Amino acid sequence: MRNERKTKRFPVFQLHHLDFAEYELLFPLMSDEKEDQICLEKPVIGVSRCLLGDRVRYDGSGERTPWIVEILSTHCDLLPLCPEVEAGLGVPRPPVRLVRNDDTLAVVGREDSSLDVTEALSRVWKDRRNDVVGMDGLILKSRSPSCGVADTPVFSETGTESTRGPGVFTRQCVEAFPLLPLIDELSLENEVGRVSFLIQVFRYRCRRLQALPH
């Protein structure tokens, strides 16, 4: 009975016909009421707005990702975010990049290094933090100085690429919520990445909602 209910009532996991033996591991001591609370509402996933096709990138383009827009959106509640627009940087806007100077990481203009938007972007995190508390995962745009998950170029002050890492918004998310599942659109291009992310979302959601007071 419980097995029948699980796919009917937690439809995101029908996406890839997952075998939810794991479901029983995660719910062993849960009351039906708590299980209802977890299953009946859709998971909440924050998404970089440009991946939904919104034309918010620095050059006025979008980066629509069909699997997110056409498939995932029917199984999850997607919460769009764009740190650079929310920081008031406008569209179009001068492109920025990450620059490391000793221990500090700054977000400065790619062509005009006197343009420093580090402070403006960190204010976005303060506004968005409460939304992230209610998320079960985040899908973020690769290589972005704000949203990149792991592959955003970081430059030295002399202008050479010294390493790669997360964008500034992602760094703040990881610092505050180290277990929150994060992925970029490139890692969702194949089945393995999608299934792995959904399982992480499922686990995180169970633990997040179980921790809420009744």
Site for ligand SF4, rule CB under 6 A: 48-50, 56-57, 82-85, 141, 144, 146-147
Least CB distance to ligand SF4 at residue 35 (A) = 34
Least CB distance to ligand SF4 at residue 189 (A) = 17
For helices 118-133 and 168-176, the axis angle rounded to 10 degrees is 40
d(CA 176, CA 55): 29
Q: Which is nearer to ligand SF4, 65 or 206 (CB)?
A: 65
What SS3 state is found at 104? strand
d(CA 183, CA 202): 14
Least CB distance to ligand SF4 at residue 36 (A) = 34
Q: Which is nearer to ligand SF4, 49 or 208 (CB)?
A: 49
Q: Which is nearer to ligand SF4, 44 or 170 (CB)?
A: 170
Least CB distance to ligand SF4 at residue 187 (A) = 15
Residue 173, C-beta contacts closer than 8 angstroms, at least 6 positions apart: 125, 132, 138, 180, 182
Q: Which is nearer to ligand SF4, 35 or 86 (CB)?
A: 86
CA distances from 141 to 12, 62, 112, 167, 176 (A): 22, 11, 23, 9, 19
